[in-house]
């Protein structure tokens, strides 16, 4: 059985470790955060994801503190180390200081670093130059709610030293698409997420436009459309949320500002926030005193509330003095769990006086 290390027990790290374990690999997951480590050591679930079985996860994934990382200590040097650590945005792009340090540690231990963390196009060469060597990049294209399915698809892209890439492909047992250029591959990942965010903004702008000129707009019509798949792009709904889409769009927007071109990426981010504010004001204007919210999470089938539009609306309502109740427990106890005395609902059915949806 081949050994493989995964660094970072966040969403991507855990999904990656789980899927590799399902494929029969001996997986060790390294994490630094003490609270997260405690949950993992107690074999508790740390998030919800469709098709992710935590009992199975703990049956074939070994969890360790990142300080314990000594690949030579078990007599099996040369393992692949998949880096799934969080990379935050800074004023100058992505801050890959933590990634850089981790790659150096992996190399010092005689292992092969494989970057799964997000890094912006134009920054791979900077990082490679700083480190003094090339490294493998295997970006993730995992969508929350369908990440297990996405991992097993045949669109795993990789770039970097070809012999290392082929060796990893043989160990993992998934077909890789070898990209000729790391910068292009990172650009593909970034722009893929940016496009999804822009698509949401475009679809949501249409009913707002036609509302102003008294034209009715029915989402129900659009699945019937054919041709270029217009039905997929014209169905309006909630603003985009989650962790990746806003971050990728902010990154591209900051780059556009530096080259002083018209920045429709920034306009998309602003429109997204305007939608949230409009929905909050719409609810506040009714004069209700309390509201039950169903589905704080930004996407069905997950429990992630990062940048959740509904969560942001609820926070604005709370500031306005409206008592917000959690109808399904998805807010992680941020709001009231009791459902007594509700006057309205958001995102679900209710016997109250009003019902609101995106």
Residue 75's pLDDT is 42
Residue 136's pLDDT is 94
Tell me the pTM.
Answer: 0.86
Q: Are 7 and 67 within one domain?
A: yes
Contact indicator for 2, 23 with CB cutoff of 8 Å: no
Residue 165's pLDDT is 93
Does 179 score more than 80 pLDDT? yes
Q: Are 29 and 138 within one domain?
A: yes
Q: Write down which residue in 130, 148, 180 finishes a domain.
A: 180
Q: Which has the closest alpha carbon to 324: 298, 349, 290?
A: 290
- Which residues pair with residue 94 across a beta bridge? 89
Q: Write down which residue in 150, 180, 210 finishes a domain.
A: 180
Q: Are 166 and 53 within one domain?
A: yes
19-53 tens-digit pLDDT: 999 999 999 999 999 999 999 999 999 998 888 99
Q: Write down which residue in 146, 180, 214 finishes a domain.
A: 180
Q: List the CATH number of the domain containing 196.
A: 3.40.50.720
216-264 tens-digit pLDDT: 766 555 555 555 555 556 677 889 998 889 999 999 998 888 777 778 8
Q: How many domains would you assign to the chain? A: 2
Using DSSP, state whether 181 is helix, strand or coil.
coil
Range of the domain at 174: 3-180
Does 146 score more than 60 pLDDT? yes
Q: Which has the closest alpha carbon to 323: 356, 295, 284?
A: 284
Q: How far out from the chain centre does Cα 152 lie?
A: 17
- Range list of H helices, the chain: 11-22, 34-41, 54-60, 97-108, 124-131, 147-151, 162-172, 182-212, 230-233, 244-258, 264-284, 309-319
Residue 9's pLDDT is 95
Q: What does pLDDT average to over the chain? A: 85
Contact indicator for 307, 242 with CB cutoff of 8 Å: yes
Cα gap 193→186, rounded to integer Å: 11
Q: Are 149 and 268 within one domain?
A: no
Q: Are 34 and 154 within one domain?
A: yes
Q: Are 166 and 196 within one domain?
A: no
Q: Are 284 and 146 within one domain?
A: no
Residue 340's pLDDT is 52
Stretch 341-358: mean pLDDT: 67
For helices 182-212 and 244-258, the axis angle rounded to 10 degrees is 100
Q: Are 57 and 193 within one domain?
A: no
Q: Are 156 and 235 within one domain?
A: no
Stretch 153-158: mean pLDDT: 82
Question: What is the percent of the chain where pLDDT is above 90?
Answer: 46
Contact indicator for 108, 265 with CB cutoff of 8 Å: no
Rounded to 5 degrees, φ, ψ at 243 are: -95, -40
Q: Are 233 and 100 within one domain?
A: no
The band of 78, judged by pLDDT with boundaries at 50, 70 and 90, is low
Q: Are 173 and 200 within one domain?
A: no
Stretch 295-323: mean pLDDT: 89
For helices 244-258 and 264-284, the axis angle rounded to 10 degrees is 130
Contact indicator for 345, 356 with CB cutoff of 8 Å: yes
Q: Are 176 and 235 within one domain?
A: no
């Amino acid at each position: 059985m081949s050994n493989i290390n995964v660094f970072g027990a966040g969403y991507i790290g855990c999904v990656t470790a789980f899927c590799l374990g399902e494929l029969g690999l001996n997986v060790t997951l390294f994490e630094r955060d003490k609270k997260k480590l405690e949950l993992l050591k107690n074999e508790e679930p740390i998030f919800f994801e469709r098709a992710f079985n935590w009992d199975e996860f703990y049956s074939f994934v070994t969890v360790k503190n990142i300080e314990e990382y000594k690949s030579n200590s078990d007599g099996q040097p040369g393992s692949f180390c998949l880096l799934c650590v969080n990379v935050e945005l800074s004023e100058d792009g992505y801050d890959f200081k933590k990634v850089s340090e981790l790659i150096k540690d992996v190399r010092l231990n005689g292992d092969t670093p494989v970057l799964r963390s997000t890094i912006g196009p134009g920054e791979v060469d900077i990082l490679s130059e700083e480190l003094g060597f090339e490294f493998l990049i295997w970006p993730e294209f995992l969508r929350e709610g369908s990440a297990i399915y996405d991992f097993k698809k045949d669109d795993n892209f990789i770039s970097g030293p070809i012999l290392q890439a082929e060796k990893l492909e043989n160990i993992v047992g998934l077909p890789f698409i070898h990209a000729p250029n790391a910068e292009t591959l990172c650009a593909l990942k970034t722009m893929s997420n940016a496009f999804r965010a822009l698509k949401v903004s475009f679809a949501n702008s249409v009913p707002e436009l036609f509302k102003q000129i008294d034209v009715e707009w029915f989402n129900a019509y659009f699945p019937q459309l054919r041709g270029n798949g217009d039905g997929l792009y014209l169905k309006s709904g909630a603003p985009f949320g989650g962790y990746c889409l806003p971050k990728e769009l902010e990154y591209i927007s900051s780059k556009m500002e530096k080259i002083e071109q018209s920045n429709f990426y920034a306009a998309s981010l602003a429109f997204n926030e305007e939608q949230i504010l409009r929905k909050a004001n719409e609810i506040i204007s009714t004069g209700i005193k309390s509201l039950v919210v169903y589905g704080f999470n930004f996407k069905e089938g997950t429990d992630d509330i990062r940048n959740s539009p509904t969560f942001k609306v609820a926070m604005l309502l709370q500031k306005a003095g409206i008592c917000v109740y959690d109808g399904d427990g998805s807010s992680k106890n941020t709001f009231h769990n009791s459902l007594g005395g509700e006057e309205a609902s958001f995102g679900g059915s209710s016997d109250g006086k009003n019902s609101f949806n995106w």
